[in-house]
Amino acid sequence: MKQMTRATLRVVSFMLPLLFASFSFANAQEQTPLNADFISSYGLRNLENALVLHASPKYPEPGEAVHLTVESPIFDLSKDEITWVIDGKQVARGVGKTSFDTTLNSRGTALSVTVSAVDPIWGTATNALEIVPLLIDILYEGSTYVPPFYRGRPLPSADGSLRLQAVTHLVRDGKVLDDEDITFTWYRNSKVIKNFSGQGISKILIEAPALYDTDAISVRVASADESLSAVKQITIPSTEVALVIYENHPLFGILFNNVLPPQINGPADISVAAMPYFATIFYLNDPTLRYSWKLNGNSVQASSTKRNEISLQSDGDVSELRLEVSQTTNFFLSALGKWLFLRGAGQSSSMNQDNEDIFHSAEI
């Protein structure tokens, strides 16, 4: 009996440490590497930062795809479980997942990337990266005529001027670079536009594309040390002058809300004003602009002060009005319009198209 008790005690005393050791071993897998002493003895520290995170391209543009990769000089990432988190949301997880692809949104908001790896020997390591996209917007418009309350964009026309502006958003070390700290190099059809490139030159005025042509305009922006650089390109077509006429109402003024159609059942008397949209002028009375009015084939004189306007009075069944607009300094500016005014009755304005009166010209 004594022997049995002694034996039992020996067994228990032998088993208890084993039990404790196995329990601790299992629990400690998440807490301390098995070879913590080994790591420490070699002076290895801060292994939690042992990941290196790369983004390609390094400075992407909005809407651009980005290839993310992670590597480590110590961890065997091919066997480790790797987790990718973007903007606080886990997007991928897997053993050996050392790369991930994502795309920046077109608004250019920054992307926050975090990657972590768990290694059975070395523990857990994490690294993070914020990707701030390079933003370049190229805004353009023609330096051409549009009526004062026109809500659309003035478009460039041949032999006119083209306004361009590069709006940039280059961030380095958390600071947005001013235009003065950026070098702008402007290109037309891959050729540098001389005299329009340099530091801070984000706004330029150049020749518009030639008649019926389209130009590829690009700009390269770079920080002073060339560590940040990007290129943006747009295509800009030339636009022809659009010649329209509106009624110039005695009370309401020019009725810009209603272009007169080619055939008008107009009122007995009507004044019309011609608008050459996208002509290379600032004012309608530009002295270089020629308005050639013809009524039923005969030249007629418009007002000396408002050469783009003419008044018509009822005369005959049908009247044909023609207008040719040209410019002495711009060979490419030529626009022709033709309108038929039909006999109408009882209509006071082109806004009601029931009038059947007829016209002859009248000097203003």
User: For residues 80-119, which are near another protein according to CB under 8 A?
Assistant: 86-89, 91-92, 100-103, 105-109
Closest CA to 266 of 190, 189, 352, 338: 352
Give the dihedral sign, CA 106/108/109/111.
positive
Dist. CA 135–CA 171, nearest whole Å: 9
Between 284 and 310, name the residue whose CB sits nearer to another protein: 284
Between 316 and 346, name the residue whose CB sits nearer to another protein: 346
Between 256 and 269, name the residue whose CB sits nearer to another protein: 256
Residue 298 tokens read as 């005969």
Tell whether residue 3 is a contact of another protein (CB under 8 A): no
Asked, as a colleague might, if the bond just before 57 is cis with ω within 30 of 0, I would say yes
Closest CA to 53 of 83, 24, 27, 31: 83
Between 135 and 295, name the residue whose CB sits nearer to another protein: 135
Tell whether residue 274 is a contact of another protein (CB under 8 A): no
Task: Map residue 363 onto helix, strand or coil.
Answer: coil
Query: Residue type for 32, please?
Result: T
Between 5 and 41, name the residue whose CB sits nearer to another protein: 5
Tell whether residue 350 is a contact of another protein (CB under 8 A): no
Footprint (CB under 8 A) of another protein, residues 134-193? 135, 137, 139-141, 148-155, 163-165, 167, 169, 176
Least gap, CB of 39 to another protein (angstroms): 21
Q: Which residue has the tokens 């330096």?
A: 143
| x-marked contacts with another protein along 233-262 as a string, rule CB under 8 A | -x-------x-x-x----xxxxxxxxx---
Least gap, CB of 219 to another protein (angstroms): 12
Q: Which of 351, 354, 363, 364 binds another protein (CB under 8 A)?
A: 351
Closest CA to 293 of 317, 309, 278: 309
- Biggest distance spanned by C-alpha atoms of the chain: 142
